[in-house]
Amino acid sequence: MINQLGVIGLGTMGANLARNAARNGAKVAVYNRTTDVMHDFVKEYGKEGIIVPCKSYEELMRSLDAPRAILLMVKAGGAVDAVIEDLLPHLDEGDIIIDGGNSHYPDTERRTAELSEKGIRFLGMGVSGGEEGALLGPSMMPGGDITAWEDMKDLLEKMAADDGLGGKCVSYIGEGGAGHFVKMVHNGIEYGIMQLIAESYDVLKNVGGYSNAELAETFASWNEGEDLNSFLIDITAKVFAKKDDQGSGDLIDVIQDQAGQKGTGKWTTISALHYGVAIPTITAAVDARIISGSLDLRASKRPYTPDLEEPIPNKEKMRTMVRSALHLSILCAYKQGFQLMEKASEEHEWNLNLEECARIWMGGCIIRSVLLKVFMDSLCGESARQKTAESYFSSQFGGEKQVYWRQVQELSASRGIPIPAMSASLSYYDAIRRDRLPQNIIQAQRDFFGAHTFARTDKEGVFHAEWE
């Protein structure tokens, strides 16, 4: 058991994780490339525990007993490799490096293998929870050297959020890049849910005529229910209630409609294409962010011919319809993420425990939601719990909710409101529920122009037709 931690990088996340560890009884040695940042950090937070300022890597190493654990909180990519290279001369066999940034999982696979050859144990650990979560308890997804996890388990469990079920939101994910892969998919699901919320806002405001005050009340009310209770719904209600302290009115109305991204959503989409898993809700969310920033494209004036024959439902009906569409679409986003993790686990032989992945997302992280308990049951391998989950999914996707889901698509399309993620979710659901899809014509076309052959529904074997 290791109850000490070196932290390199005192940005928002690194600083708060260092404070978190110190508050939980660990000796924490801190280093930042800009020394003034390190001194300011120690001056402000040094009394929260045993925090040792270090001006160099040598000093950092001397401050810790062997085996030493060093948490890197630096920008993903080349910066991580550069810090590791500079650290190596000061490390001893058995020491641990933990990469707590949003590194791409193939890089983590490579680093795990390279450092293992040098006797250094490596953990690629996804960390979710933002600024507050890092300090008060994040969800953490460590993967890599299992002996490093065993040595760090006690401290990481103290630092992690509660899952609301009596456990902590940290668990060993698997070998190599498994931890960062799961964090990447977490972020992809996050993209999907955030876009679905944005589309719900757009429909309620621009079709339903909701004011910001009504939106704040609506999302706050939804957050109290068993279908949408979640961190993202909660903060959305607070966003709509925020006044502009630099002007008049509501802050939301003066925020530019260009959403940034740091790459994890894109990586999720690329990975899904690589592993052959459909994640249309997540991909639509990535595309929507790209379009939001494509100002030259958006500046073009294009014709719009509205179809306004369908009357707009009253506000209460509209609220119920959008709530149903949002709920079912979010379930699709989670489903797609878990399917992607399952397929990647099979290919890499990570043996991911998907129930555990759902559990450690129950607290601390950005996509924490009451819905994850349903996915825990569906992924647990226990027939009784799986039947309960299946009953839940059947009841939610059947009946009136599905009708409302479809009606939201109609209303949005007729009034020129783009809802790409919600539409992708419904199309995904319709595709997986049907016994037969129209791709038979595609296979016929492929055989027509390229003799790619086809299978038949009435006979075994591979066939080719002479089309002309």
Active site positions, annotated: 183, 190
- DSSP secondary structure letters along 97-117: EEE-S---HHHHHHHHHHHHH
Residue 443 phi, psi (nearest 5): -65, -35
- Burial (CB count <10 Å: 0-12, 13-18, 19+), residue 461: exposed
* Bridge-based pairing state of the strands 121-128 and 139-144: antiparallel
Instruction: Report whether the peptide linkage leading into residue 313 is cis, meaning its omega lies within 30 degrees of zero.
Output: no
- For tokens 């939980």, the residue is 24
CA distances from 436 to 428, 430, 432, 452, 458 (A): 14, 11, 9, 21, 14
- For tokens 């040595």, the residue is 151
Residue 419 phi, psi (nearest 5): -130, 65
CB 122 within 8 A of CB 112: yes
| Closest by Cα among 431, 433, 415 to 199 | 415
> Tokens for 247?
């002007």
Q: Classify 367 as helix, strand or coil.
A: coil
